Amino acid sequence: MKKLRMLAVVLAVVVLAVLVASCNWNAAVGTITIVSVVPAAGLTGGNPTDFTVEVDYSLSGSAKGELNVGFNTNSKDAYTMISSEKVTISEGTGNHVFTCNGVLPKDWSGVGGEFKAYVNIAEYPHGSIYLPLDTDYMVLTF
């Protein structure tokens, strides 16, 4: 019985050592928060609208990152990113204002949804499919 218990302890220590060794302790960490969206209310569905989206962000563990902005204009559950507005950032904290021209707001209230501005922070460079480090959104009203 003691040998079995000792074997279990040794096995647990080995598994823990492998897990610790495989961790990337220098992994990138990012946060992003929407400070404001203008206009945020009084929207007209289908009317081309110019938005400004202000964000605060923080990036550590990576020399560069990327900020992205989009809106759920084509689907209540998915965001169309505005590729012309993506911006590369350096490690640290900061503030950025996106200028998004000609966005077509969509009133999703009839199908149980909300129109939203969406932002994310990601590692840079990244592939066409990527997992953001952090995201935020703000509901906009009609």
User: pLDDT digits over 64-77, tens only?
Assistant: 999 999 999 999 99
For the whole model, what pTM was predicted? 0.82
d(CA 137, CA 117): 5
User: Do 90 and 63 meet the contact criterion of CB atoms below 8 Å apart?
Assistant: yes
- Smallest Cα–Cα separation from 55: which of 43, 74, 42, 70? 70
Residue in the block written with tokens 């990327």: 66
Ramachandran bin of 63, using left for φ above 0, alpha for ψ from -120 to 50, beta for the remaining angles: alpha
Q: pLDDT tens across 117-127, in order? A: 999 999 999 99
Q: Is the pLDDT of residue 107 over 50?
A: yes
CATH superfamily of 27-140: Immunoglobulins (2.60.40.10)
Average pLDDT over all residues of the chain: 88
